Amino acid sequence: MSFVSKEKTAPATWKVTATISAEAFGKQLAVTAAKELEKITLPGFRKGKAPRAMVEKRYGQDVFFQETLDALLPGAVSDALKEAELEPIFRPEGLEVPEADLEQGVEFTFTVIVQPEVSVGEYRGLKVEVPAAEVTQEDIDARVHELQHRNARQAEVDPPRPAQEGDIAVIDFKGMLDGVAFEGGTAENHELTLGSGQFIPGFEEQVLGRTPGESFDVNVRFPETYHAENLAGKPVVFEVKLHELKAEELPEVDDDFAQEVGEEYNTVEEMKAGIAKELAESKTQQAADAFEHGVQDQLVNLLEGEVPEALFDRRAQRNIEIFLDRIQIPLERYLEIMGEDEEAFAARMKAQSVAQVKLELALETIADKEAIVPEEDEIEAEYQRLAEEYKVELARAKFAVPQDEIVKGLQREKALQLVQKAAEKTAPQE
C-alpha cells in the first residue's frame, strides 16, 4: 500500500487518496481465486477443478476482483490513515475505487472526519446571572391563591349575567368552512374557560358579553401554522349556543382548608410554613439550574474554531432516536399531537445538538489544557454507577462501555466543575 495524498475538503474533514501495488493486488488475487475456484463448476470439469484462466475467460478477467478488494481494502485504509497521520473519530466514508487492474494495481479514495481543532476563550471568572432564591410573602400568597383555585367548586352564575373573563361557558359549537361542517369542529356541552386561550385566537373574546340561552356566530381565522393543512390560514364560522355560565367559588383560607390541602397540616400557619419551605427548595434548585445553564451557554459561545457539520448531524440523529424510543410513539403521531411540522422539529433537534456538541468540545479542550485525568477509583465508581442504573453485572457494564468513554465523560464533568467553581454569580439586570 502507498499513501498518495490528503486534501482538506471541509472543517476537520479530509479526502485521502492511496494505492495498492500491482504486486500486492496480484498476490491477494491469487489467494482469492484459489478459494473461489473451489465453489465453481464449468462444463467438463468437476466442481472446484476448473482452471482459473478458463473461469476468467468465461466470466471476465475481473471476476475475482471484488472479493480481492474486500480482503485488501480494510487493511489498506488503516495503513493509509497511519501514513497520512490522521485519526478519524468516525469510520471512513465515501470509499471509491476508480481503478483496479493487474498492471496498475488499485487506486482508491475515502473521506474521514478527525477531531476538530478548537480553542476556548477565557473560561475562568465567568459572570453568570442567577435569580434570587428568597421567598417573599407575595410568593406565599400566590401559592395559597393557586391552591384555592385547585380546590374551588363550580357553581352556576345566578342571577344570569353576561359572560366575563374567568367564567366557564358551557357551549355547543359547530365549525363551518365555506358553509360545510369540518371534521373535529363540533361539540356539545363543552366547558370553555374564557380567557384561558384554549381555543383559536379570537374565539373566546366573541363569547364574552353573551348571556345564557343566546345563539350566535363566531368568526375566526385558523393560524397559518395550524396542524390541519385543510384549515391552516382559513377563515371559518362557528355556530355557537351558550347554555350556561359557571364561576369558581373559592374556599375560605382557614384551618379546614389547610387540612384539605395536606394531611401534614393542621392550621393555616403550618400550611404557609410548609409552602414557604417548598418554595425555598424550588427557588434554590431553580437558581442552581440557572447557574449551571448559564455557565454552559457561555462555554458554548466561547468555543472558537470550525466544527464539521457531520458532528451536529450525527448527534441530532442520535437524539431523535433516543427521543422516539422514550416516547414510544411514531414521529408522525407526535408531530400531529404537538401541532409541529417535521421541518421545525428537525431544526429544533439540530439546534439542541449543536449546543451539546460545542459544549462537549469546549469541556474536552479545557480538560486537556488543565491536564485533568480521573483517578482509577473514580473510573471504577462510574462503572459501578452504570451497572446499578441499568441493573447489570459490573463486568457487563465494563464490556459494554469502553473505558475511554468513561474517562472522557469524567474529564468533561471535572472541567465543568472547575469552571463553575471559578465563576461569579451576579443578580439579574433589571
The rounded distance, in Å, linking the Cα atoms of 109 and 112 is 10
322 and 218: one domain?
no
Q: Tell me, what's the pLDDT at 98?
A: 85
Q: Which amino acid is at 399?
A: F
Q: Would you state the cell numbers that stand for residue 112, as one nine-digit string?
A: 474521514
220 located within any domain: yes
Query: In a 3-state reduction of DSSP, which class is residue 237?
Result: strand
Q: Among residues 92, 115, 138, which one ends one of the domains?
A: 115
User: Dihedrals φ, ψ of 175, to 5°?
Assistant: -85, 135
Q: Would you state the cell numbers that stand for residue 93, as one nine-digit string?
A: 466514508
279 and 418: one domain?
yes
Spatial contact of 84 and 6, defined as CB atoms under 8 Å apart: yes
422 and 280: one domain?
yes
Q: Tell me, what's the pLDDT at 430?
A: 67
15 located within any domain: yes
The rounded distance, in Å, linking the Cα atoms of 64 and 102 is 12
Q: Would you state the cell numbers that stand for residue 371, as one nine-digit string?
A: 491536564
110 located within any domain: yes
347 located within any domain: yes
What does the chain come to in residues? Answer: 430
108 and 175: one domain?
no
Number of domains in the chain: 3
238 and 170: one domain?
yes
Q: Tell me the CATH number at 345.
A: 1.10.3120.10
Q: Tell me, what's the pLDDT at 41?
A: 78
Spatial contact of 197 and 165, defined as CB atoms under 8 Å apart: no
CA distances from 171 to 213, 249, 264, 278, 409 (A): 10, 20, 40, 39, 56
Residues 309-341 as b or e (16 or more Cβ within 10 Å = b): ebbbebbbeeebeeeeeeeeeeeeeeeeeeeee
Q: Would you state the cell numbers that stand for residue 298, as one nine-digit string?
A: 457561555
287 and 399: one domain?
yes
What is the value of pTM for the model shown?
Answer: 0.72
Q: Tell me, what's the pLDDT at 51?
A: 75
Residues 117-139 as b or e (16 or more Cβ within 10 Å = b): ebebeebeebebebeebebeeeb
Q: How far apart are the first and last CA of the chain?
A: 66
Spatial contact of 126 and 419, defined as CB atoms under 8 Å apart: yes
The rounded distance, in Å, linking the Cα atoms of 339 and 327 is 16
Q: Tell me the CATH number at 208.
A: 3.10.50.40
What Rg, from alpha-carbon coordinates, does the chain have?
34
Q: Tell me, what's the pLDDT at 40?
A: 77
Q: Taken in order 216, 221, 223, 226, is the CA torsion positive or negative?
A: positive
Q: Which structural domain, as residue segments, surrounds residue 16?
A: 2-115
Ramachandran assignment for 205, one of left (phi > 0), alpha (psi -120 to 50 degrees), beta (any other): alpha
Residues 77-95 as b or e (16 or more Cβ within 10 Å = b): beebbeebeeebeeebeee
316 and 404: one domain?
yes
308 and 380: one domain?
yes
178 and 78: one domain?
no
Q: Which amino acid is at 303?
A: L
Q: Tell me, what's the pLDDT at 1?
A: 57
69 located within any domain: yes
Mean pLDDT in consecutive groups of 10 residues from the start of the chain, 430 residues: 84 93 90 81 77 75 83 92 92 89 87 94 95 93 94 90 94 96 94 92 96 96 88 95 93 94 93 96 94 96 94 94 92 88 92 96 97 95 94 93 94 97 89
